[in-house]
Amino acid sequence: MKNRIVSGMRPTGKLHIGHYLGVIQNWVELQKKYESFFFVADWHALTTKYDKTETLKQDTIDVVIDWLASGLDPELSAIYVQSLVPEIAELNIYLGMVTPQNWVERDPTLKDMAKVLRGKTEIPDNAVCSPQAAANCHFRDDILVSYGLMGYPVLMSADIMMFNASAVPVGSDQVAHIEITRDIARRFNNIYKTDFFVEPLPLLNDCALICGLDGCKMGKSFENDIKISDTQEVTAKKIMSAITDKSRIRRDDPGHPEQCQVAFKYWEIFGAPEQIETIKSECKQGLRGCADCKRQLGAVINEKFAPIREKRRYYEQHPDEVREILAAGTARARAEAQKVLSEVKNIIGMY
C-alpha cells in the first residue's frame, strides 16, 4: 500500500508561477508515488477573511483549474474542497478537546500572523524585501483575532489526521504547524491508549523560490506576479518590467548577471543549461541588451506555460467537468474520512 499525503492551499484565486514552481509541480510528482489528497482550504480562508466572502467560490474554482491545468490528475489524487468534507469539522472538535490552550497560543506562525494582521508589527523580513512592495501591501488593522483563527493549528491538524497521512508536503513556513499536529497525534494516542494516529512528517520541497518582478517575494497583493493564467502578451509585458542589473546604463556596458536581481534569476530557472552559460558570457561582454534579453526570456516562459494555459482554457470552458472532478474527489475523501472518524469515535467512546 502507498503512503498517504495531504496538502492544502487557501483559495487565493488565480495562482502565480511561484505557486506552480514551488508547490504544484512538486504535488504533480508526488501524486505518482503517494496516495494523495489535495484540497482547497476554504475554512482556513475564513479564519482571516470571514467578512470577505464575495469571491470565495470563484477563487476556489480558479485554484482548482490551475491545479488541473498544471497536471494534478484526478485519477491519481483526491481533489476536494475542505468545507465539503464535514467530517473534518467533527474531527476538529475531538482534537480541540485534547489540545492544551497554550499549544495553540505558542504557535509561532499564528503569533506572527495575528501581529501582522493587527498591523502591530513590522512586516516580517522574509515576507517582502523592499519598502515599495511593503507599501503596496495593505494589511488590515481592524482584524479580529477570532476563536476560529486561534484554532487554526487544530483545524490544520484535523485536515491531516482526517486521512491519517504520514507526510505533508509544505513549505518551511508551515513546519511549526506540522509539529503541533505531531504533538496532538501523540497526545491523543497517549490519552486514549491507542496507536491509531500516525505522527506525520513534513515533506519539504527545497526548490529555489522565485522572486517577483520587482525582486521582492512574489505575491498577489504585491502586484509583482505572473499568473499561470496570464496571456502570452501580458506575460511578455510583465517580463519587460522585471528589474535587471541596475548598474548598466548603455546597451554595450558590461553586465553583471550575478547582480541581475530578477531577469537572470528567471533565466536560471527557465533556461536550458547551455543557454544560461551563453547569456552569462554575452551579458558580461556587453553583447546582450537587457530589453532583448527580457524579450527572449518572455518567449521562453511563454513556451513553458503554453500547454498548461491551453489546458486551463479547456477547463474554463468546461466548468461542469471541474465540478464533476470536485464531486468525485470529495466523495473519495469523505469515504476515507468517514472510516477514520468512526474509528476515532469508537476509540474515544462516543455513541
Query: What is the DSSP code string of 180-206?
Result: HHHHHHHHHHHHTT---S---EEEE--
Is residue 16 helix, strand or coil? Answer: strand
User: Could you tell me the smallest distance in angstroms from the CB atom of residue 263 to ligand TRP?
Assistant: 28
User: In the chain, count of helices (H) and strands (E)?
Assistant: 16, 5
Select from 68, 114, 168, 211 the one that contacts ligand TRP (CB under 6 A): 168
* Enclosing H/E stretch for 176: helix 175-191
Instruction: Return the number of the residue (24 or 160) whose C-beta is nearest ligand TRP.
Output: 160
Tell whether residue 212 is a contact of ligand TRP (CB under 6 A): no
- CA–CA dist 31, 33 (Å, integer): 5
Strands 77-81 and 201-204: unpaired
Enumerate residues 6+ apart whose C-beta is below 8 A from 306.
232
Residue nearest to ligand TRP (CB): 8
- CA–CA dist 12, 178 (Å, integer): 22
Torsion of CA 247, 227, 22, 40, to 10 degrees: 150
User: Could you tell me the smallest distance in angstroms from the CB atom of residue 274 to ligand TRP?
Assistant: 36
Tell whether residue 205 is a contact of ligand TRP (CB under 6 A): no
Instruction: Return the number of the residue (152 or 270) whose C-beta is nearest ligand TRP.
Output: 152
Which range of residues in 156-164, 254-262, 275-283, 292-300 is near ligand TRP by CB under 6 A?
156-164
Is residue 154 helix, strand or coil? Answer: helix
Cell of 313: 482554457
Within 263-292, the residues that bind ligand TRP by CB under 6 A are none
User: Could you tell me the smallest distance in angstroms from the CB atom of residue 82 to ligand TRP?
Assistant: 8
Query: What is the DSSP code string of 52-80?
Result: --TTHHHHHHHHHHHHHHHT--TTTEEEE
Tell whether residue 170 is a contact of ligand TRP (CB under 6 A): yes
Longest Cα pair distance anywhere in the chain, in angstroms? 78
Within 288-347, the residues that bind ligand TRP by CB under 6 A are none
Which range of residues in 70-78, 128-136, 153-161, 247-255 is near ligand TRP by CB under 6 A?
153-161
Instruction: Return the number of the residue (29 or 252) whose C-beta is nearest ligand TRP.
Output: 29
User: Could you tell me the smallest distance in angstroms from the CB atom of residue 151 to ligand TRP?
Assistant: 12
Cβ contact 25:228 at 8 Å: no
User: Could you tell me the smallest distance in angstroms from the CB atom of residue 313 to ligand TRP?
Assistant: 27
User: Could you tell me the smallest distance in angstroms from the CB atom of residue 43 to ligand TRP?
Assistant: 9
Cell of 305: 506555460
Binding mask 12-51 for ligand TRP (x = CB under 6 A): -----------------------------x--x-------
Select from 4, 8, 245, 265 the one that contacts ligand TRP (CB under 6 A): 8
Q: Minimal CA–CA distance to 229: which of 12, 9, 16?
A: 16
Binding mask 97-136 for ligand TRP (x = CB under 6 A): ----------------------------------------
- CA–CA dist 237, 235 (Å, integer): 5
- CA–CA dist 177, 6 (Å, integer): 13
Tell me the site size for ligand TRP, rule CB under 6 A: 13
Which range of residues in 1-9, 14-22, 128-136, 284-292 is near ligand TRP by CB under 6 A?
1-9
User: Could you tell me the smallest distance in angstroms from the CB atom of residue 42 to ligand TRP?
Assistant: 10
The contact set with ligand TRP (CB under 6 A) reads 6-10, 41, 44, 156, 159-160, 168, 170, 174
